[in-house]
Structures are given as C-alpha cells and as structure tokens.
A and B are shown apart, each in its own frame.
Chain A
Amino acid sequence: MSSQTTKVRAAVVGLGWRRFKCRDRMKSLYLTFHVYLAFARKSFQKQMQYRVANLAGLTTNFFFLLVQVFVYIAFYKASTEPQPLSIDDIITYFVLCQASLMLMPLWGGREIADTIKNGSVALQLTKPVDFQTYWFVDECGRAYYYLFMRGLPTFLISNIFFKVTIPQQPSVLLAFAVSMVLAIFMSAAITITIFSTAFWTLDTTGISGIAASVITFFSGMLVPIALWPEWLAHIARWLPFEGLIDVPFSIYLGKLTGIEIWIAIGKQMAWCLFFIGFGRVLLNRGFSRLVIQGG
C-alpha cells in the first residue's frame, strides 16, 4: 500500500519535473523566437524609411507590367494555336510576378557581404545570436514589408486595369499561401548563400550578378515555364528556382491540382532545407577562415 503511494508520488513528482523542464524549454524557445521576431520587425521598419523609393518602385513595377501585357497580347493575337495558358492566365501571372518581384533573392543581402567586408561580422559572432538565423529573419522581415507595401498595392491597382483571375476555392488559396511563404523562405536562404561567398571573394557583385541571371531565368519570371519548349522546361523542373515564381503562381492559376500541389510544395520544402543547410556549411567554412584586420 505504502509502496504504491510512493510510486504514485514519484510518478507525480516525475511528471511535474518533466512538465517543469518542458515548460522551461518552451520558455526558452519562446524567448528565442521572440528575439528573432523582434529582428524581423526591425528589418520591416528599416524598409519603412524608404517610402518614397517604394512608391517609385511601384510605378516602375507597373510600367514593366504594362509593357509585358502589351507584348503578350500582341503575341497571342498573332497565334491561332491553342496555348497551355490563356491570355487571362498570362496577365494574372505577370501581375503576381510584379507584385512579388521584391521578394525574390535579387535585392537583399548586400548588407551581409558588407558585414563580412568591413569586419563587423566579428562583433556579430560574439553575440548570442545565430548568424544565419539572424540574416534569415532579416530577409523575411524585408520580404514581408514588400509583400504588404509593394505586392498588395500592385495587385490591387492591377485589378482596376486588367482582368486578374482570383481563385474561387479556399483550398487553392491556402495552398498558394503556403507555397508563397515557402518561396519567401527559400529566397532568404538563397540570398544568404549567395552573399556568404564574400568570405572568399570580398566583391560579390559578379557572383550575385550571375546568380541573378540564373534565378530570373529558371524561376519563370520572364516567361512562364508552361510556355517553354519541353526540354528546357524539364531542366527547370529539376532546379530549385521554379519554386520562387512558377510553382506558387501555377497553384494560384489552378494549373496544379490535387496530389501535384503536394508534390510541388514538398519539393519547395526540400529545396528550402537544402539551401539552409548549404548556407550553413558555407558560413561555417567562412567563419573558420575569417581573419579580421585591425580592431
């Protein structure tokens, strides 16, 4: 009887202990999350300073969109063959492209290279903050700024001038949202990977330029992959960059259905993890050969 009570008591204590430990871990996890969330918010606010530049960018986005639409309308007018995407699909595709242009891994990251170049990376490494995670959330904060301050206005204004399709099923919208978030994550991971090469080259203009051309090409930002010749589209399907533009927008347009959506999102996740891992390896190698001049 007494032994049983002890057993129960021990179990209760153990449970309490475990619960306490669990809560402790949750708390530290929450705190970590909180810190990085604050960094993301800071990054968001940093972009807020450039409100006029954003307005100018919005105008530029819209201009390019207009020219793109003119060009595609002319192309579609000349051709009688059935196409995999209708002209309405194309217009919607490019509206989304221009709306999410600033989320692509083409704009940010210069600061990462700068911290490496001017040596302030040493200071950053002494802080109890993970270098990669810090820049990851910094990039995400920037992306969310442009999602709301550039993407949303571009999308809404475009609705006035063009016929933009909006998916009717909530499940499609949900899948699109998930896919878009993954695209943002992947974009952040790619940016960090590109600019961590500053450990080796110091001047990243060349590498980021080449990366930009590969990304613009294989993401389907200039021409939707559905319109590419088959052999080239096949190559694009094996590369990660379609996950930035073509995958989320194909989901949006309803060109991917059912299991295809899951496969596409799974692929996005895998590539996302790949770039995070690859960036980590690259950064760790960079840290190990880092020499700071001066003090």
Chain B
Amino acid sequence: MHPLSLYFHFVKLRIRSQMEYRLSFIVELFAQASISVIDFFMIALLFNRFKQLAGWSLWEVGFLYGMIGICFAVAEMIGRGFDAFERNIVRGDFDTILIRPLGTFYQVFANEFLLRRLGRIAQALVVLLIANSQLSVQWSLTKVGYLLISLMSGTCFFIGLFVIAATSCFWTVQSIEVINIFTHGGVFMGSYPFSIYRWWFRHFFTFIIPLACVNYFPALFLLGKIESLGVSPIGVQLAPFAGFLFLGIAMLFWRWGVLHYQSTGH
C-alpha cells in the first residue's frame, strides 16, 4: 500500500472511532468553538474601549488572529500524534512502532487524528473571513497563493514544536511542558501585532522561534502594511518559508532522538 493512501486509511479509522461517541463529539465541538469565540470576543471588547492598538484596527488584528488560529488548530488536528506522544513512551508503545516496516516519524504522525478541532478551525476561519470582508484587501492570485503558503507554513511551525516536545520525551519521558509557552502562548501572542512587544522579545520570536515569520510578516504583506515597518519587502515575502525550515530542523532532531530511545520496559 502506498504510504499516502495508508495514511488516509488510518485517518478514516481514527475518525470512525471518534464518531462512536457522537453526542460527546458534538458537545466537544461546541465547547471548542465557544472557548475560541469568547477568546476573540475579548479582543473585540478591548477594541470597543480603546479603538486601536499600535495603529491596528480590530479587523486587522482579527486577520492575524484568524490566521494563527487556523494554523494551530490544523496542527493540533493532524499533529496530535506528536502532541500526545508522551504516553507512547510512558507505556512503552514506541517499541511496537520501531519493529514495524515504516518510518517512525510517519507512524507517529499517522497514529492520531483529532477531528474535533474542526470546531476551532471553523471559528478561526469565520473570524478571518469576516475580517477580510471588513478590510479592503486587493486579492490577486499571488496573494491567495501567498496566504495558503503562509497557513501551511504556520501549521508546519506548530507541528515542528510538537515534534520537538515529543522528541524531548526520549530523554525526559514526560513531555516538557515549557513547550506550552510556544504553542498556546504562541497563539496568544501571535494574535496581536508584533510591534507592541519589546525588541528582545520580538527578535526571539523571529529568529529563534520563527513565529513572526509565519503570521505577522505575512499579514503585514497581505494587509499592505509593509511600508510602516523598516523590513525589506523581499524578506517579508520569503518569511513564511521559515515554518517549513523549522519543521525540517525538528524532523532532524527527531531522527537523532530516536537513536537515543531507551524503552521504559514491558
């Protein structure tokens, strides 16, 4: 079987097993969406009082929010295998993965699929669409392509973070929770324009953890706000590729980590 069709087969199985508890699935979908609706509503409340944030209007921030929200939710949906990898190590399940005739990365990736993140994806998408309708962005084919690449890149960025956290389990057994700063914290800080942060903070999240590259810079380009910033346009246009690069580095780290795996027994 071709790996890709095998992957879709796995996903189909996961979805079917999650649909077994239909009521609980629907309630959870609703809960997911309600949490994120409140999230954005709070930002709207602040704009209702303060009108603008460092030259950004509510819907410009909504654009940022929608982008990062979609990236993170998609990453959580398809990258769940790495997000929940800890229990594979704790239970010693990784042994089974090692003896199968497929790559470890591929297997862990195909291991889980969290369908209920659809609620969060839908909410972020709605915010993005409303934001777009409120703003006058001149869409062209290049810009649509650029947006799609940015979204994919952002998703890769978050999956990269999950992979790094999962790889650390080879040494620490339990997942390093500090990664939450970059995942959940990343979504939180990525919902606001980067210009409000201090320089050291900004630089850290551009060059070391390339969060700004997958969200803020693409949004600047799409919303036509580059002029307000002292960054070269070419740098901004190439920025989204940092997300793919980040995932690549994370995968190399994974490969190296697997070599250091010691079973917890069984």
Q: Chain A interface (Cβ within 8 Å of chain B)?
A: 53, 56-57, 59-60, 63-64, 66-67, 70-71, 73-79, 83, 201, 203, 205-207, 209-210, 212-213, 216-217, 222-223, 227-229, 232
The reply to whether A210 and B31 form a contact with Cβ atoms under 8 Å apart is: yes
The reply to whether A67 and B31 form a contact with Cβ atoms under 8 Å apart is: no
Residue contacts A-B, CB under 8 angstroms, 25 given: A60-B177, A60-B185, A64-B188, A71-B192, A74-B53, A74-B54, A74-B196, A75-B46, A77-B54, A79-B51, A201-B23, A205-B24, A206-B30, A207-B31, A209-B27, A209-B28, A209-B31, A210-B27, A212-B31, A217-B41, A222-B38, A222-B39, A227-B49, A228-B45, A229-B45
Question: Residues of A contacting B24 with CB < 8 Å?
Answer: 201, 203, 205-206
Nearest-neighbour CB distance to chain A for B27, whole angstroms, equals 3
Interface presence of B139 (CB below 8 A): no
| Residues of B contacting A: mostly | helix
Instruction: Report the bound CA distance from A77 to B50 in whole Å.
Output: 10
The reply to whether A216 and B185 form a contact with Cβ atoms under 8 Å apart is: no
- Using known A-B contacts A56-B177, A227-B46, determine if residue A75 contacts B53 with beta carbons closer than 8 Å: yes
The reply to whether A206 and B35 form a contact with Cβ atoms under 8 Å apart is: no
Interface presence of B148 (CB below 8 A): no
Question: Residues of A contacting B197 with CB < 8 Å?
Answer: 67, 70
Count residues of B near A (Cβ-Cβ below 8 Å). Answer: 39
Q: Chain B interface (Cβ within 8 Å of chain A)?
A: 21, 23-24, 26-28, 30-32, 34-35, 38-39, 41-42, 45-46, 48-54, 174, 176-178, 180-181, 184-185, 188-189, 192, 196-198, 201
Question: Residues of A contacting B192 with CB < 8 Å?
Answer: 67, 70-71, 74
The reply to whether A229 and B48 form a contact with Cβ atoms under 8 Å apart is: yes
Nearest-neighbour CB distance to chain B for A58, whole angstroms, equals 10
Question: Residues of A contacting B35 with CB < 8 Å?
Answer: 209, 212-213, 216
Partner of A78, one of B30, B48, B53, B178: B53
Instruction: Report the bound CA distance from A64 to B34 in whole Å.
Output: 21
Nearest B residue to A76 via CB reads: B50
- Using known A-B contacts A59-B181, A64-B188, determine if residue A71 contacts B42 with beta carbons closer than 8 Å: no
Nearest A residue to B36 via CB reads: A213
The reply to whether B54 and A213 form a contact with Cβ atoms under 8 Å apart is: no
- Using known A-B contacts A203-B21, A206-B28, A206-B30, determine if residue A213 contacts B189 with beta carbons closer than 8 Å: no
Instruction: Report the bound CA distance from A222 to B188 in whole Å.
Output: 12
Partner of B198, one of A60, A70, A76, A228: A70
The reply to whether B31 and A57 form a contact with Cβ atoms under 8 Å apart is: no
The reply to whether B180 and A60 form a contact with Cβ atoms under 8 Å apart is: yes
Nearest-neighbour CB distance to chain B for A259, whole angstroms, equals 28
The reply to whether A60 and B181 form a contact with Cβ atoms under 8 Å apart is: yes
Question: Residues of B contacting A228 with CB < 8 Å?
Answer: 45
Instruction: Report the bound CA distance from A232 to B21 in whole Å.
Output: 36
Question: Residues of B contacting A53 with CB < 8 Å?
Answer: 174, 177
Question: Residues of B contacting A78 with CB < 8 Å?
Answer: 50-54
Question: Residues of A contacting B45 with CB < 8 Å?
Answer: 223, 227-229, 232
The reply to whether A63 and B185 form a contact with Cβ atoms under 8 Å apart is: yes
Instruction: Report the bound CA distance from A209 to B51 in whole Å.
Output: 31
The reply to whether A75 and B50 form a contact with Cβ atoms under 8 Å apart is: yes
Question: Residues of B contacting A76 with CB < 8 Å?
Answer: 50
The reply to whether A223 and B46 form a contact with Cβ atoms under 8 Å apart is: yes
